[in-house]
Amino acid sequence: MVVLTPRLQAVADYVEPGSIVADIGTDHAYVPAYLLQHGIIRTAYACDINPGPLQNARQTIAQNALSGVEFLLSDGMLALEGKQFDTVIIAGMGGELIARVMAQSPLSRQKQLCFILQPMTKADYLRTFLYREGFAVREETFAAEEDKLYSILKVFYTGESVQISNAYALLGGAKAHPLFEQKRQREIVRLRKIDASLQHKADSEPMREEILQLIKEIEEY
Ligand SMILES: C[S@@+](CC[C@H](N)C(=O)[O-])C[C@H]1O[C@@H](n2cnc3c(N)ncnc32)[C@H](O)[C@@H]1O
């Protein structure tokens, strides 16, 4: 039986029952396995750029006596051309890599496709990229693991390019979530530390002003 960590559980919870899922960077295929095990989906593509992780994926599916998974050695979504699916999961990668995977395939510009994205780092970079490139975040949540807070985004392509604020890029839209206040305080502490480290550096005034402005935006967000 596959038991998911809170981060991957939050990802799995965003999958609509009956979806056909493509899990990019699947590694152990824990999310597809969980979704199959609970009857939430019947079919999935488990995709990874490396053969080792794809082998891990095969093992998880076999060990749990599951079926319905096609394994694809694929850079991002490139091997998914011509396949049928409606949901793409990209979890456990940095925000910049997720943005690159989204940018590199025209599949991402299909308006009916649902993308469930979970950046390990640089969520602000990813949100700015998504809105600039015509994607919109329809839903967003947090998951906590040990001392880490992760954002999980449900995203669709709209074709409308939007410029977002720096505060929104950093904090995201899950303002009603119980972990939101923790996220806000963490960002303020992080930025104050950067500001303190610049205090005695020459010519740091413009950068410090930007940081203080961002802290104000975050406090008022
Ligand atoms: C840290 S694991 C994440 C596993 C799982 N998705 C999770 O969230 O726990 C990242 C996986 O992404 C794969 N990966 C990295 N770049 C990729 C790319 N461009 N396309 C597909 N997979 C990629 C790696 O081989 C690795 O198995």
114-119 and 135-145 beta bridge pairing: unpaired
The full set of domain ranges for the chain reads 6-163, 182-220
pLDDT band at 135 (very low <50, low <70, confident <90, very high): very high
Q: What is the pLDDT of residues 189-215, one digit of tens each?
A: 999 999 999 999 999 999 999 999 999
pTM here is 0.97
d(CA 139, CA 174): 8
**Ligand 1 first shell, C-beta below 6 A:** 8, 24-27, 47-50, 53, 74-76, 91-93, 97, 101
Residue 217's pLDDT is 97
Residue 48's pLDDT is 98
pLDDT band at 148 (very low <50, low <70, confident <90, very high): very high
> Using an 8 Å Cβ cutoff, are 22 and 89 in contact?
yes
Average pLDDT, the chain: 97
Q: What is the pLDDT of residues 154-187, one digit of tens each?
A: 999 999 999 999 999 999 999 999 999 999 999 9
Residue 87's pLDDT is 98
Cβ neighbours around 206 below 10 Å, total: 8
Sequence-separated (6 or more) residues with CB below 8 Å from residue 36: 42, 44, 61, 66, 67, 68, 69
Q: CATH for 6-163?
A: 3.40.50.150
Ligand 1: distance of its center to the CA of 50 in Å?
8
Ligand 1: distance of its center to the CA of 64 in Å?
21
> Using an 8 Å Cβ cutoff, are 93 and 25 in contact?
yes
CA-closest residue to ligand 1 atom 8: 92
Could you identify the atom of ligand 1 that is nearest to the CA of residue 50?
A: 25
